[in-house]
Structure 1
Amino acid sequence: MKPVPRRDLAVLALGLGLAAWLLVRAYYGHLPPLDWWLPAPLGVLAVVEAFGARTLARRLAQLRAARAGKAAPATKGSAAPVRPLEPMLVARTAVLAQASAYVGAVLLGVWAGVLVHVAPAVGRLQAAGDDTVTAVIGVVCAAALVGAALWLESVCRIPPEEHEAMASPSSG
């Protein structure tokens, strides 16, 4: 599985930002008001993925230390053995991270397109003030989702030194 190309995420966000800006510009008067809680699920997913990345990174570090024969860091006096991780769990988590990165980039573009239209209209339109707050929350939550997803994806990668160590015995 290949990592998510950052360029693809940027192109996706920019393209959908432009498309959203054009659509919002054409139909803003017909749109329902944008409530502040609409982008909240993105923020919740970003927090969950960041927590998952931190937890998975810690568990993988403990497993690597145990395999290398190094002492695992002391965890408040407990000398419990390190529980192994299911390889399929890590693979599914990597797929979730990649999908979340794309979803975050799409919604980052959409919320940025809305923000580019409504922010300059704050002084002219009464609804633009609330919609600007919602769009800012949307941009922040979507960017956080992209960041957390990319972090989670990087945690799921096999470190290069382990990969090279597995490949070197067959070549010698």
Structure 2
Amino acid sequence: MTEPKPSLRPTNPATLVVAGLVAAAVTWFLTSNWYETFARDVPWVSAVTLAGLALFEAVLANNTRARIARKPGRPPVEPLAVARYVVLAKASSLAGSIFAGVLGGLVLVFVMRNELAHSQHNMPPAIGALIGSLMLVAAALWLEHCCRVPKQPDDKDERNGENGRSDEPGRRSPA
């Protein structure tokens, strides 16, 4: 019986781009038509939060990479923890791309309506949050990359049937 193939694939960059573009288009449409109705301040806390999450995931990625590579002085990493990190990375990259789209749409509206004092007031925190969300996407993709198990040269030999083994149980490969 063959082992099932892993079902979790690396994040497709096209998915992130499409999610960001759709979020930007929806945000631009809603805010350009009804900006005066729900004009609110963009808080600086969103930029700080997104940048903080990006920093956390970047540090986690570097730590996980060193632990998977079994560098001296680093404890081994638990497989379940790595699986959780991958889920965190995949969710963070998608959320970061959606936030980047929303904030990009807002920045576009602020540029188009630069005559309003309110939009000029909101521009710096919106750009800061946009940069923070792009940092989050980059850190999440780095974390996902660092969670990959390095390929071992011995694994390939065993799957190809060398050392008297075959892919099918009970059958020996010819010598």
TM range, normalised to the smaller chain? 0.7 to 0.9
Q: Deviations over 1:78-122 (max 9, x none)?
A: xx5x42211000111011000000000110000000000102322
Could you tell me which of 15, 34, 40 is aligned with 1:27? Answer: 34
The aligned runs of 1:16-165 (5 Å cut-off) are 16-31=23-38, 32-61=40-69, 63=70, 72=72, 82-122=74-114, 124-159=115-150, 161-162=151-152, 165=154
Q: Give the paired residue count.
A: 153
| Residue 127 (structure 1) shift | 0.6
Moved over 2 A (4+): 35-40
More helix by share: 1
Which has more radius of gyration?
A: 2
| Residue 2 (structure 1) shift | 0.4
Could you tell me which of 125, 146, 169 is aligned with 2:158? Answer: 169
Partner SS for 2:84: helix
Could you tell me which of 3, 13, 20 is aligned with 1:13? Answer: 20
* Paired AA for residue 111 in structure 1: L
Asked whether the 8 Å contact 2:97–2:137 carries over to 1, the reply is yes
How large is the Cα RMSD of the aligned pairs?
1.5
**What does residue 69 of structure 1 align with?**
none
| Residue 48 (structure 1) shift | 0.4
Ranges in structure 1 where 5+ consecutive residues have no aligned partner: 66-71, 73-79
Q: Deviations over 1:124-156 (max 9, x none)?
A: 100111211121011100000000000000000
Which one has more relative contact order, counting CA pairs under 8 Å at least 6 apart?
1
Partner SS for 1:29: coil
- TM-score, normalising length: structure 2: 0.81
* Paired AA for residue 130 in structure 2: V
Distance (Å, rounded) in 2 between the aligned partners of 1:89 and 1:34 = 35
- TM-score, normalising length: structure 1: 0.83
Residue identity (%): 29
| Residue 26 (structure 1) shift | 1.5
Q: Deviations over 1:32-64 (max 9, x none)?
A: 222222332111111100111111112222x1x
